[in-house]
């Protein structure tokens, strides 16, 4: 019963066990809260300091600290999460290292390795551990299915200046998603990617702290604003529920029309 005395309908993810990485902020945090509202049991996975500082609006998230740059830590954290959930139905691989690395000519080996280790290799290791747990729990048997959702970016398909390591790693996530979809289909595991454009995780209605980048959002996004983390989480709920049972190897792009245009100039059209 709710506090108003009205029975609450079971959510679309009732009885499902989910792990969300990158869960302490932005899209990850919104996805954890959306899954909890829809009735799932959720492990929220992120760096320990970020988890310690996070308070979810919805109760019930199980926090587990994990550094996606630490291969051994990923396997241990995933095993702990699956044990505490009693199985695994949904994995959202959203942990990422964001930001630029300067001009390509100045890109260091260390910066390249950092971005690839977290964004590409971390996603691979998380998904491999998750897929193995799903198969062990019976995915693909007796009509049972499971879901893996990767969080890519419009940068999975579109480059931007001074971000070669990030763009390359996110492009790798896109192809990894398709490869997993093909290999895991026989086990009833559906694998899809969400590709967000600019998302406001700062609370300043731009998604960026620099005025120059804020103006760029207004100029290049057809809807004239960044997305909200909750709008991306809505897609994560859809891809996890039973209604998406014939979708695999696909990408949902959530970018306000950014990738629909060759050139910007939207601010002029709004005046």
Q: Is 223 annotated as a binding residue?
A: no
- The answer to whether 166 is a known catalytic residue is yes
Q: CA–CA separation, 241 vs 221, rounded Å?
A: 29
Pairing of strands 41-46, 90-93: unpaired
Q: Is 100 annotated as a binding residue?
A: no
Q: Is 167 annotated as a binding residue?
A: no
Burial class of residue 77, CB neighbours in 10 A (0-12, 13-18, 19+):
buried
Q: Is 232 annotated as a binding residue?
A: no
Q: Is 30 annotated as a binding residue?
A: yes
Distance of CA 33 to the CA centre of its chain: 13
Q: Is 35 annotated as a binding residue?
A: yes
Q: Is 43 annotated as a binding residue?
A: yes
Q: Is 231 annotated as a binding residue?
A: no
Q: Is 160 annotated as a binding residue?
A: no
Q: Is 37 annotated as a binding residue?
A: yes
What's the per-residue H, E or C state across 91-160? Answer: EEECCCCCCCCCCHHHCCHHHHHHHHHHHHHHHHHHHHHHHHHHHHCCCCCCCCCEEEEEECCHHHCCCC
| Crossing angle between the packed helical segments 164-184 and 122-136, to the nearest 10 degrees | 20
- HSE-CB of 53 using CA atoms within 13 angstroms: 7
Q: Is 250 annotated as a binding residue?
A: no
Q: Which of 56, 115, 166, 208 is flagged as catalytic? A: 166
Measuring CA to CA, which residue among 16, 19, 11 is closest to residue 149?
A: 19
Active site residues: 166
Annotated binding site: 20-44, 153
Annotated binding site for NAD(+): 20-44
Annotated binding site for substrate: 153
């Amino acid at each position: 019963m709710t506090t108003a005395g009205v029975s609450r309908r079971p959510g679309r993810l009732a009885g499902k066990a989910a792990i969300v990485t990158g869960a302490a902020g932005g899209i990850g945090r919104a996805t954890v809260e959306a899954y909890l509202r829809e009735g799932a049991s959720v492990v929220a996975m992120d760096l320990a300091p970020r988890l310690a500082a996070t308070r979810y609006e919805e109760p019930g998230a199980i926090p587990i600290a994990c550094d996606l740059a630490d291969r051994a830590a990923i396997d241990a954290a995933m095993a702990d999460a699956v044990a505490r959930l009693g199985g695994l139905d949904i994995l959202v691989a959203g942990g990422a290292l964001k930001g630029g690395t300067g001009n390509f000519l100045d890109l260091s080996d260390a910066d390249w390795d950092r971005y690839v280790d977290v964004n590409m290799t971390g996603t691979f290791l998380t998904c491999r551990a998750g897929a193995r747990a799903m198969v062990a729990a019976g995915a693909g048997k007796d009509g049972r299915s499971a879901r893996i959702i990767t969080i890519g970016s419009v940068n999975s398909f579109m480059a931007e200046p001074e971000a070669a390591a990030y763009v390359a790693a996110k492009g790798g996530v896109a192809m990894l998603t398709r490869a997993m979809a093909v290999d895991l289909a026989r086990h009833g595991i559906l694998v899809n990617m969400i590709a967000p454009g600019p998302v406001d995780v700062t609370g300043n209605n731009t998604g960026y702290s620099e005025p120059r980048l804020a103006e760029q959002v207004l100029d290049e996004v057809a809807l004239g604003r960044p997305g909200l983390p909750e709008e991306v989480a809505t897609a994560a709920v859809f891809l996890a529920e039973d209604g998406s049972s014939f979708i695999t190897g696909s990408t949902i792009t959530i970018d306000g029309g950014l990738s629909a245009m060759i050139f910007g100039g939207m601010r002029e059209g709004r005046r």
